[in-house]
Amino acid sequence: MTVRKIVSSLNRMLRQRSQPVSLEDRTIGALVKDMLDTMYAAGGVGLAAVQIGVLKQVIVVDLPGGDPLGPQIFINPEIIEASGEQAVFREGCLSLPGVMVNVKRPTHVHVRYRSLDGRACEIMAHGLLAICLQHEIDHLNGVLITDHVSPEEF
Ligand code: ZN
What residues have their beta carbon closer than 5 A to ion ligand 1?
93
Residue 1 pLDDT more than 80? no
Amino acid identity at 137: I
Using H for helix, E for strand and C for coil, what is the string for 72-84? EEEEEEEEEEECC
Tens digits of per-residue pLDDT, 86-126? 999 999 999 999 999 999 999 999 999 999 999 999 999 99
Cα of 117 vs centre of ligand 1, distance in Å, is 25
Cα of 29 vs centre of ligand 1, distance in Å, is 21
Cα of 69 vs centre of ligand 1, distance in Å, is 23
The residues that bridge with 93 in the sheet, in sequence order, are 96
Give the catalytic positions in this structure: 136
Cα of 32 vs centre of ligand 1, distance in Å, is 16
Residue 69 pLDDT more than 80? no
Compute the 3-state secondary structure of the chain and give helix, strand, coil in percent, each to the nearest 5: 25, 35, 40
Q: What pLDDT is recorded for position 9?
A: 80
Residue 8 pLDDT more than 90? no
Question: Higher model confidence: residue 36 or residue 64?
Answer: 36
Cα(17)–Cα(15) distance, integer angstroms: 7
Cα(80)–Cα(88) distance, integer angstroms: 21
User: Would residue 134 be called left, alpha or beta, if left means φ above 0 and alpha means ψ between -120 and 50 degrees?
Assistant: alpha
- Euclidean distance between the first and the last CA atom of the chain, given in angstroms as a whole number: 36
Cα(133)–Cα(109) distance, integer angstroms: 9
Q: Lowest mean pLDDT: which of 34-48, 55-69, 140-154?
A: 140-154
Residue 152 pLDDT more than 80? no
Cα of 27 vs centre of ligand 1, distance in Å, is 23
Question: Higher model confidence: residue 48 or residue 152?
Answer: 48
